[in-house]
Amino acid sequence: MKRPSHLRHSLLIAASLLAPAAWAEADYPSRAIRVIVPLPGGSSPDVIARLWADGLGRRLGQPVVIDNRPGAATIVGAQAAATAPADGYTLFYTVGSTTSLNPFVYSASRLPYKTEDFVGVVRTVSVPYVLVVSANSPIRSTAELIASAKKNGDKMNYASYGMGQTTHVLMTRFLNASGATMTHVPYKDGGITDIISGVVNASFEPSTTAIPQIAGGKLRGLAVTGAKRLATLPDVPTVSETIPGFVADSWQGVLVRKGTPAAVVQKIAAASQEILGSEEFRTKARDLGLQAVQGTPAEFQNFISEDARAWEKVVKDNNIRAE
């Protein structure tokens, strides 16, 4: 049966409107891709982002350029990514605190983005933290640290990278779980020099920072926050070996602005799976004390929500606020 002429005309108009979008997705990418990294060059996320971006560029056939936007606990970079066009040509390579801490430790007036502004593409690595003390400290295990903090909590202290930062909230989570107390001493640089000298009793350091200092004999690793021991620190137990069930890694991953075409998200995700499964990527991550992760965009999106709930509870239970 022949369609009326006005119906044929309407269908042609609809097809002409949809076709450019479909062609654009099919041709993606047709130009260079920008990746915003909200941390400085040379940092662990920057190193891994560049390794991933190099592999992505080779697989998609277009340059993938890193755009470092450090500042304000990833907020500067997150704002830039949240206001970029949702077309897949601006990607956001970030860390767990962007979605799991910032929305809870900063007031809405201080935070120029929402977690809902983004969609997860792929989680690249899990980032274990290492509970460390000075190599000269008399404390040689997690159990000894807990016992000492319970006995002398008013005299013991720990360092962090600042109020509301991951290392602060992580130590709070650890102390809550162990029933101990220590005094918080925030530093802009994490206070690692004072930990080495023994001025500060302990801290949680990212594995990328802790491993070289432990290998150099300046710090002693007491425990790692992951579910398993690290291949690079095989003699350092997990926190869960002392506090059953305690797992508190951070992560790195790729987000895009909400509204980015699903086909584009899937194309980036598929290429990323190949990269994350490569021996080159896994070896580099392992050497840094990181653990490569693979999964679908949906799995990553669910993980972001679950991770945020865990950290939100610690923040609210302890009334933690960042200035």
Q: Which of 321, 313, 316, 311 is nearest to 95 (CA)?
A: 311
- Tell whether omega for the bond before 297 is within 30 degrees of 0, i.e. cis: no
Name the token pair of 26: 């099919």
Q: For the chain, list the domains and their CATH numbers.
A: 31-127+249-317 (3.40.190.150), 129-241 (3.40.190.10)
**Tens-digit pLDDT profile for residues 76-109:** 999 999 999 999 999 999 999 999 999 999 998 8
Can you tell me the distance from the alpha carbon of 240 to that of 260, in angstroms, rounded to the nearest whole number? 39
Given pLDDT bands bounded at 50, 70 and 90, which one contains residue 25? low
What's the rounded mean pLDDT across residues 182-209?
96
Q: What is the pLDDT of residue 243?
A: 98
What's the rounded mean pLDDT across residues 19-43?
82
Q: What is the pLDDT of residue 19?
A: 43
Q: What is the pLDDT of residue 108?
A: 87
Provide the edge-to-edge strand list for the sheet that holds 64-68.
Answer: 64-68, 33-37, 90-95, 250-257, 118-127, 291-292
Only one residue has tokens 């007491």, namely: 222
Whole-model pTM: value is 0.89
Can you tell me the distance from the alpha carbon of 233 to that of 105, in angstroms, rounded to the nearest whole number? 32
Q: How many CA atoms lie within 13 A of 137 on its CB side?
A: 29
Q: What is the pLDDT of residue 219?
A: 98
**Tens-digit pLDDT profile for residues 107-130:** 988 899 999 999 999 999 999 999
Can you tell me the distance from the alpha carbon of 225 to that of 100, in angstroms, rounded to the nearest whole number? 16
